[in-house]
Structure 1
Amino acid sequence: MSLISRLGIVFMRTLAHVPLRVTRGFGTGLGHALYALAAPRRRVVDANLALCFPDKSAAERRRIARETFVYVAQSWLDRSWLWHAPEEKVAARLQVKGSPAEIDEIANGREPMILFAPHFYGLDAAATALTMHTARPSTTIYTTQRDPMVDEWIREGRKRFGNVIALNRVDGIKPIIAGLRKGGLLYLLPDMDFGRDQTVFVPFYGVPAATVPSLSRFARLGRAKVVPIVSKLTPTGYEIEVLPAWRDFPTEDVVADTALMNRRLQGYIDTMPSQYYWVHRRFKTRPEGAEPVY
């Protein structure tokens, strides 16, 4: 496994210097191959889309599924240049747009802020784009990879620019809250199912979905405002949109806050459904007595 991992990392370092159109073309071919060959994961995507978009035709859902596999492959290969290309090349491919006030506060502010970054395929690009332009301490939470070499490569890639603190999920909430209360940023991806003990059931496209309530809890404990970050893969790189901070969030009702998060996330997804992370088993934890989805 280590030899394969080493060769894979060497390949990504080499790919960093290839023109983007070549990398994206390779990703397109790889994505179509994954759609055809990765049947178990394709069934996960199909099940997610059928639950979330019952009003779309079967043909339309198949189109979205094919596209999402292409975006999976392209975004993974793009980590080559995000983490290894010269800084000026990386910066030229990342466009940050949106609320000028929030963009300035991310870069220069001192108040605690949580960047709500849903699982779009550009999430690593968005993190890179924002940390390139701020010296504020920025915390991100990650899950350890099985291969230590790959784990180190991913962690170092995400810490490449800025003052980034990469915490493992098992480190607990104390360092997260401490970082916020010191005026730091938290790059948070809470639209996940981490099992019955760590989630609450709230609707996602009308389907009960076990969802981590960390956005509400961290915002309240860290006295932080929440700014949504929506990342989009484009032909020339990535477009990262910084949206206005949410008002009247959080409240004292964690479940209501988490349901609101999912409703707003649906609005972001509806603008580009094939760029959301449908390969994740979003509905793997089911309410008591409900039939399995996968």
Structure 2
Amino acid sequence: MAENLAQAGYDSDAYSPAVSRELGKQAAETAWIWGKPRKALMKHVSATAEAERIIGDALASGRPILFITPHIGSFEVAPVWLAERFLAGTDRYMAILYRIPKKSILQNVVLHGRETPGIRPAPATLKGVRMLVSSFRGGQVVGVLPDQVPSKGEGVWVNFFGRPAYTMTLPLRLAHQFDAVKIVAWGCRISSRGWEIDARLWNEPLTGNMKDDAVTMNQHLERVIRLLPEQYLWAYNRYKCPAGVNPPEEQAKE
């Protein structure tokens, strides 16, 4: 946490206490969000007018939509809100790419926690990739948390807060292929009130060059994180090198 805060230009001594408190809230609220009936949960969720407009316009376009959400605030409540607010009663759904937990005891918990009406969890496996392709092709909504480290062959080294981070490319490749609307969305945690959903439209067209597009994606993520630095998951080892992947210094020499 301290290293990542410093890398982004924040005083770790000043920010660590607040970041740790928010991390505790995130851990505690996740089970509550997964177990709460959707109608009851929605009483604690609001959205900005900007988010309502951007998402409503994107769905009305009929094009597939790529939602990218950093690990900030409540990244569990945002898709539930979207499904309830916009997808309920329609033939649209949201496919969410997720990494299967290594501990088997958690696998069913995570799957069933995220599998609710209007939401289809897509594991980071070949089966999940096929689900994403089908979703994009069918004009559906796809959600990803792109600030987690992908496996070998699934990313490129580009800067994240000024330091090379192995960054996923699959959603960028598919969004480019199927001309998806790109939206950065997140759920801000508001003390004693619940959460507020906000969003920004990613207007720049994708180039098809994975490094260039990944750079742009990380810049969008950084802007959102700087809005709510206390609520970001700084404790995650974002700069680790996956097994079998050359470190960025070695890759640059090839």
The TM-score bracket by the shorter chain reads: 0.7 to 0.9
Are the counterparts in 1 of residues 73 and 231 from structure 2 also a CA contact under 8 Å? yes
Matches within 5 A, 1:24-35: none
Question: Residue 249 of structure 2 aligns with which residue?
Answer: 288
Q: How far off its partner does 1:167 sit?
A: 1.4
2:79 maps to 1:127: yes
Between Structure 1 and Structure 2, how many residues are aligned?
Answer: 239
Are the counterparts in 1 of residues 184 and 220 from structure 2 also a CA contact under 8 Å? no
Tell me which of 181, 184, 189 is aligned to 1:228: 184
Are the counterparts in 1 of residues 73 and 186 from structure 2 also a CA contact under 8 Å? no
Tell me which of 97, 100, 118 is aligned to 2:70: 118
2:213 maps to 1:257: yes
Unaligned segments of structure 1, at least 5 residues: 1-44
Greater Rg over alpha carbons, structure:
1
Identity %: 21
2:168 maps to 1:217: no
Are the counterparts in 1 of residues 2 and 16 from structure 2 also a CA contact under 8 Å? yes
Matches within 5 A, 1:169-184: 169-170=124-125, 171-184=127-140
2:119 maps to 1:164: yes
Are the counterparts in 2 of residues 139 and 186 from structure 1 also a CA contact under 8 Å? yes
Which has the higher relative contact order, 1 or 2, with Cα contacts under 8 A spaced 6 or more apart? Answer: 2
Alignment deviations for residues 25-67 of structure 1 (CA, whole Å, 9 cap, x no partner): xxxxxxxxxxxxxxxxxxxx111112221xx4xxx32232222
SS in 2 for 1:114: strand
From the superposition, tell whether residues 153 and 219 of structure 1 become closer, same or farther in structure 2 (CA, over 3 Å).
Answer: same
Matches within 5 A, 1:179-198: 179-198=135-154
Distance 2:107 2:232 in 1: 23
Are the counterparts in 2 of residues 68 and 276 from structure 1 also a CA contact under 8 Å? yes
Q: CA RMSD in A?
A: 2.1
Question: Residue 248 of structure 1 aligns with which residue?
Answer: 204
Question: Residue 83 of structure 1 aligns with which residue?
Answer: 34
From the superposition, tell whether residues 99 and 127 of structure 1 become closer, same or farther in structure 2 (CA, over 3 Å).
Answer: closer
SS in 2 for 1:283: coil
Q: TM-score, normalised by structure 1?
A: 0.74
Q: How far off its partner does 1:106 sit?
A: 5.9
Q: TM-score, normalised by structure 2?
A: 0.85
Which structure's residues are more often helix, by fraction? 1
Alignment deviations for residues 128-172 of structure 1 (CA, whole Å, 9 cap, x no partner): 111112131210111222344432122122122x32211111125
Q: How far off its partner does 1:107 sit?
A: 6.0
